[in-house]
A and B are shown apart, each in its own frame.
Chain A
Amino acid sequence: KAGVTQTPRYLIKTRGQQVTLSCSPISGHRSVSWYQQTPGQGLQFLFEYFSETQRNKGNFPGRFSGRQFSNSRSEMNVSTLELGDSALYLCASSLERGGEEKLFFGSGTQLSVL
């Protein structure tokens, strides 16, 4: 079974631009969650989608948004990029709702904002 796939692997943008990241979950998994990881803040939850609906949202500004398609693939968008948005963005998939379930992470998208 193929794992969680995230594209692109690396991205360089400048301040003020916007970016879209993609995540393809493991086949059959309906829950996709997104995380931001930085050296200073660790791994922080952004939001979670299940059956095309955002079920949970972390404490991030509205510049961070996402969506999920009918095939469970998910995209994350960051508008008006700031230098502090430089981070490793990870997505994870699970069968249902996460929590006590195993989360399967992708390799992430390393975003650098210049």
Chain B
Amino acid sequence: LAKTTQPISMDSYEGQEVNITCSHNNIATNDYITWYQQFPSQGPRFIIQGYKTKVTNEVASLFIPADRKSSTLSLPRVSLSDTAVYYCLVVGPNTGFQKLVFGTGTRLLVSP
């Protein structure tokens, strides 16, 4: 299973763009990069998933360089409600549930 490394915390202000980078040097050919968001006392919520290049949805964008050893979650114009913990996971067809590691995530604090 590809180990992921992401910053423990980040601070931002309302209206700014936030980029959270995740390193996954040992990503396998069939693995996808998946991001989840979690608010206090709530379950994680799927944000976005990608395999290569760029993926965009109504919530975020995910940038994956050609070597796929890292990825960047981009949140455009954050608001106070984006304050949460963000988890980067590398998952694939051979990722058993036992190997599904959410880690400590990145705690994003958005201030007024």
A residues bordering B, Cβ < 8 Å?
Answer: 4, 33, 42-43, 45, 47-48, 55-59, 88, 90, 92, 98-100, 102-108, 110
Contacts and interface: CB of A to CB of B under 8 A. Distances in A.
Contact of B92 (A100, A104, A106, A107): A100
Given A43-B102, A45-B98, A45-B100, A100 B42 contact: no
Contacts of A92: 43
11 contacts: A42-B103, A45-B98, A56-B97, A57-B98, A59-B98, A88-B41, A98-B95, A99-B97, A102-B46, A107-B42, A107-B43
B40 to A, nearest CB: 9
A80 to B, nearest CB: 24
Interface string B31-67: 1101010000111111001000000000000000000
Main SS of the interface on chain B? loop
Question: Which one of B43, B46, B102, B104 has the greatest number of beta carbons of chain A within 10 Å?
Answer: B43
Interface of B: 31-32, 34, 36, 41-46, 49, 91-98, 100, 102-105
Given A42-B103, A99-B91, A99-B92, A105 B43 contact: yes
B43 A99 contact: no
A110 B97 contact: no
Contacts of A106: 43
Nearest to B90: A100
A105 B45 contact: yes
Given A42-B102, A43-B102, A102-B49, A4 B97 contact: no
Contacts of A57: 98
Contacts of B100: 45, 98-99
Nearest to B92: A100
Contacts of B34: 100, 102
